[in-house]
Amino acid sequence: MTRELSEGAEIVGELLEHVLDALGLDGEIEVVEDEDTITGLVDGEDLGLLIGRHGQTIDAIQHLASRAVLQGTEDDRRRVVIDAAGYREHRREVLERLADDAVDEALERGVPVALEPMSASERRIVHEHLRDRAEIETHSEGEEPERRLVVSPAA
């Protein structure tokens, strides 16, 4: 028995179909949803064009999908996540390793360590990963698109 998708989830699926067609890419699209999130998953070969450099394209598609859901439905305020070929989980692992390395460096040298510029969603991943570490503090500084997360030894 297949569960019927919400209007917001239908919008996400249709948008992904249009994007794949426009980019000339083949991929399987799956849309899953829960109370908080609508997730559009794309699986296939050679999805680098969909992901883009440093995830910029997939982030833009995710932003468009979020806006389309907000504009296209009256009551759907859930978060929209777009992922392709497991990119989001891979990027999370990379960001967590970078964060751990920054903690080690900040504590070893006793100085703040700034990470590479990253999107708000990536900075949130790092803040959440490090939030229970009492020996350090994190904050963001700079202006978009050069805003970066800084790891400092706790005062």
Q: Is the pLDDT of residue 54 over 90?
A: no
pLDDT of residue 2: 58
pLDDT digits (tens, 9 = 90+) for 117-148: 998 889 999 999 999 999 999 999 999 989 99
Give the sign of the dihedral formed by CA 124, CA 145, CA 8, CA 43: negative
pLDDT of residue 72: 73
Q: Is the pLDDT of residue 76 over 80?
A: no
B/e letters for 70-106, b = 16+ CB within 10 Å, e = fewer, are eeebeebebebbbbbbebbeebeeebeebbeebbeeb
What percent of the chain lies above the pLDDT cut of 90? 86
Mean pLDDT (whole number) for 80-107? 97
β-pairing verdict for 79-84 and 37-43:
parallel
pLDDT of residue 121: 87
Q: Which helix (H) or strand (E) holds 50?
A: helix 48-51
pLDDT of residue 73: 75
pLDDT of residue 77: 84
Mean pLDDT (whole number) for 52-73? 91
Mean pLDDT (whole number) for 43-68? 94
Q: Give me the domains of the chain, ranges plus CATH numbers.
A: 7-85 (3.30.300.20), 90-153 (3.30.1370.50)
pLDDT digits (tens, 9 = 90+) for 24-43: 999 999 999 999 999 999 99
Q: Is the pLDDT of residue 1 over 60?
A: no
Mean pLDDT (whole number) for 79-101? 97
pLDDT of residue 75: 63
Count CB-CB contacts under 10 A for residue 42. Answer: 24
